[in-house]
Amino acid sequence: MEKLKKRWGLKSNFQIVLILIVFAINGSFAAYIAKPLTEFIGLEKATTNPWIFWPIRILLIFIIYQITLPLVGFCFGQFKFFWNLFTKKMLMRMGFKSFFKEI
């Protein structure tokens, strides 16, 4: 636990527990939401080639996960942690660097 606290700049074990809970809830939530979205765009597991269905579904889960991570973190009082350490870094890697220079 001390290693995580030091790496993430946290002050308490309770904060680590909250962050791990957010990761768990958000992962399940992203997978849950991806199912109706794949059906909405017309992809169904039974009728779509698995080589097409699964990469699209995984891509949807990834996008949903990135969008909802700070939102779920906010519900647990950990928005700042998830925004600074994960979402902000991911968006910067995707080419949105100029957006964060203004903030």
The pLDDT averaged over each successive group of 10 residues in the chain (103 residues) is 82 90 95 93 90 94 90 91 75 66 53
Model pTM above 0.85: no
Cβ count near 14 (within 10 Å): 9
Say how many residues make up the chain. Answer: 103
Q: What is the DSSP string of 22-69?
A: HHHHHHHHHHHHHHHHHHHTT--TTTS-HHHHHHHHHHHHHHHHHHHH
The pLDDT, as a whole number, for residue 51 is: 95
Q: How many domains is the chain built from?
A: 1
The pLDDT, as a whole number, for residue 19 is: 92
Structural domain that includes position 40: 2-102
The pLDDT, as a whole number, for residue 66 is: 85
- Whole-angstrom distance, CA of residue 94 vs CA of residue 87: 11
The pLDDT, as a whole number, for residue 83 is: 80
User: 68-83: string of b/e by CB count within 10 Å (b at 16+)?
Assistant: bbbebbeebebbebbb
